[in-house]
Amino acid sequence: MLKKRKSTVSFCKYVSMLALFIAVGYSCSSDEPIGEGPATSSSKEITAFSFVNPAITGTINEKEHTITIVFPADVDLTSLAATFTTTGAKVTVGSVTQVSGTTKNDFSKAITYTVTAEDGSTQNYTIAPPNSADVLGFAFEGGFSDVYWELPALKEGENIFNNAPANLDFVSGFPILPAGAEMTQSGDNQESDYNSTGFTFTITAADGKTKKTYTIKIPAYDKNTNPYGIYTPEQLATPALKLTESFKLMNDITMPEVNGTDYPIGENYATRGWTPIGDFYTFEGIIDGDGHVVKNLTIKGGSTDYVGFISIMGAKAVVKNIGFTSVNITTGGTVGALVGNNQGGTISHCYTTGSVSSTGFSAEIGGLVGINNDANGKPGKLLNSYSKVNVTGVSNSVIGGLVGYNYECDVQNCYATGSISGTYKYAGALMGKNAYEIVNCYATGNLKTGGGLVGYNFNWSSAPDCFWDIETTGQTTSDDGGKAVGKTTAEMKTATPYSSTWTSANWKFTSGKYPTLVGLGGQ
């Protein structure tokens, strides 16, 4: 009996434990009520929106469910494929299912992207067409269909632009607009309208609603108050066509390389480079650099006797406030990086760097000016200028770091630091040959033989308050009328003015450095 009872108890324990396991197993197998499947998601967001071409990213406003896109100018909005990411099950535009990076749409109109969640609920994202009617710039075309003059962004209303380039074709002007915007109304696009009432036009944004109206006025050229503007290498050559007019540089200019590629810059630019202004003629106009720089002016050879940025400069001519850097001139005539022959003109606040050389027999060669002359008794002027040009010529040349030959030209507050290669008939670190008074000038460039300041002086000329570095020039003497003084490098680099005539209005003295000219760059 006892044994049978024990078996009964064991069996009951087994049945109870089995029931417990079944209950536990059932409870762990699922949290869902009997007869229900997995829950479906209600998430339906667009989390990123962009374009590969053009490479731009939209801004998503999740509160308003809008996407803002700023397209670059000149983009065709009518067929663009957006790249997007979403938390929803699918995205549609109208009835068309969207494939990220593939499906194209017309973004010049309002577009609604609909995101459908797994549970079937939906959310719309609206993309409005661009509403910018701004004018990003205004361009005028010149020859060869190149942009000849490009104005900056315009403000709504009246815009006045002085210093238009010479020979500009105003009829071919057109606005640079945001994507999708267009000119919807314009006046009579003629030159007289620009100069008087102005050219007025209206821009309508891609949204078809936003409009802005603009007027462009371009005052007529005036030699004294509104000179022609020079903006490009091509326009730098226009003074050669208008030898008595006035010009103003509006920005720095880098000249193209002379490597066989042709440019509409004078004649034979591809092989010879720059054609000097006033080649066989005389420039009598005004060129104001306004503190800007012309880089990489190159001249290879040339048929003129006088070579430089300007060939011959007349008594009425003025060149001022301009720098020429990395000049490279090789020729067979008289040469100066800025002017070949200055016949009574005025040069002020100008500078040059680079190299010039001439194979011409008895040529005058200078780092800034080849030869300075008077004009019917009227002395020319060379004021507050410098040269860091290395100069080279043949043995019978007249050669100077600043001027080759100075004949009755007033030279004040100038200096030269370029080297002079070779042995010459007349050579000076500042001037090769001089026949006029030089005031407040100095020189430091090295030369094998010649004068530390002037190579040869005549016509009872002198150089009061002028100096040269006897160590860097390698010369202890100068033929300058006996008034110039040679100094050591340490003495040249003091912080004290050399004399009372070296004023702070023209010169800046810094300990350990040579003096520099006030108001000129590149020093």
> What pLDDT, on a 0 to 100 scale, did the predictor assign at position 146?
61
> What pLDDT, on a 0 to 100 scale, did the predictor assign at position 361?
86
> What pLDDT, on a 0 to 100 scale, did the predictor assign at position 3?
32
Task: Tell me the three state secondary structure of residue 50.
Answer: strand
Residue 179 has pLDDT above 50, yes or no: yes
What one-letter code names the amino acid at 401? G
Residue 253 has pLDDT above 90, yes or no: yes
**DSSP letter assigned to residue 112:** E
> What pLDDT, on a 0 to 100 scale, did the predictor assign at position 23?
38
Tokens standing for residue 255: 């000249």
pLDDT tens, position by position, 371-395: 999 888 888 999 999 999 999 998 8
> Pairing between strand 137-141 and 211-217?
unpaired
Beta bridge partners of 325: 295
CA separation, residue 403 to residues 96, 248, 411, 425, 487 (Å): 78, 25, 10, 15, 21
**Annotation: CATH topology of 137-217:** Immunoglobulin-like (2.60.40)
For residue 192, what pLDDT band results from cuts at 50, 70 and 90? Answer: confident
Mean pLDDT of all residues in 241-264: 96
Neighbours of 435 (CB within 10 A): 18
Tokens standing for residue 438: 């030089």
Among 439, 447, 434, which residue's Cα sits nearest to residue 408? 434
DSSP run (H or E) holding 80: strand 80-81
C-alpha to C-alpha distance for 279 and 275, rounded to whole angstroms: 7
Mean pLDDT of all residues in 440-448: 97
Tokens standing for residue 8: 């009964």
What one-letter code names the amino acid at 194? Y
Tokens standing for residue 479: 């033929």
Residue 25 has pLDDT above 70, yes or no: no
Using alpha carbons only, what angle is made at residue 340 by residues 508 and 481, rounded to the nearest 5 degrees?
Answer: 60
C-alpha to C-alpha distance for 321 and 148, rounded to whole angstroms: 24
What value does the mean pLDDT of the chain take? Answer: 89
pLDDT tens, position by position, 83-124: 999 999 999 999 999 999 999 999 988 999 999 999 999 999
> What pLDDT, on a 0 to 100 scale, did the predictor assign at position 440?
98
Percent of the chain with pLDDT over 70: 91
Domain 228-517, classified CATH 2.30.290.10, yes or no: no
C-alpha to C-alpha distance for 372 and 403, rounded to whole angstroms: 7
Residue 278, CB-side half-sphere exposure with 13 Å CA sphere:
26
For CATH 2.60.40.2340, the residue range(s) in the chain are 46-127
Mean pLDDT of all residues in 203-232: 95
C-alpha to C-alpha distance for 484 and 146, rounded to whole angstroms: 53
Among 182, 223, 224, which residue's Cα sits nearest to residue 201? 182
Mean pLDDT of all residues in 472-492: 95
Mean pLDDT of all residues in 471-495: 95
> What pLDDT, on a 0 to 100 scale, did the predictor assign at position 37?
56
For CATH 2.160.20.110, the residue range(s) in the chain are 228-517
468 exposure class (CB count in 10 Å sphere: 0-12, 13-18, 19+): buried
> Pairing between strand 96-97 and 90-93?
antiparallel
Residue 424 has pLDDT above 70, yes or no: yes
> What pLDDT, on a 0 to 100 scale, did the predictor assign at position 33?
46
For residue 422, what pLDDT band results from cuts at 50, 70 and 90? Answer: confident
b/e burial code for range 306-343 (CB count within 10 A of at least 16 → b): bbbbbbbbbbebbbbbbbbbbbbbbbbbbbbbbbbbbb
Residue 500 has pLDDT above 60, yes or no: yes
Tokens standing for residue 158: 């009246």
> What pLDDT, on a 0 to 100 scale, did the predictor assign at position 281?
86
End-to-end CA distance of the chain: 123
> What pLDDT, on a 0 to 100 scale, did the predictor assign at position 74?
81
Q: Please state which CATH class domain 46-127 belongs to.
A: mainly beta
> What pLDDT, on a 0 to 100 scale, did the predictor assign at position 240?
94
For residue 303, what pLDDT band results from cuts at 50, 70 and 90? Answer: low
Least confident residue range of 264-268, 330-334, 465-469? 264-268
Beta bridge partners of 486: 468
Percent of the chain with pLDDT over 90: 76
Among 294, 290, 286, 291, which residue's Cα sits nearest to residue 247? 286
> What pLDDT, on a 0 to 100 scale, did the predictor assign at position 120?
94
Residue scoring higher pLDDT (184 or 227): 227
My answer on whether omega of the bond before 54 falls inside 30° of 0, hence cis, is yes
C-alpha to C-alpha distance for 404 and 497, rounded to whole angstroms: 27
Task: Tell me the three state secondary structure of residue 322.
Answer: strand
> Pairing between strand 516-517 and 507-508?
antiparallel
Task: Tell me the three state secondary structure of residue 14.
Answer: helix
Mean pLDDT of all residues in 241-256: 97
Using alpha carbons only, what angle is made at residue 28 by residues 22 and 29, rounded to the nearest 5 degrees?
Answer: 85
C-alpha to C-alpha distance for 379 and 436, rounded to whole angstroms: 9
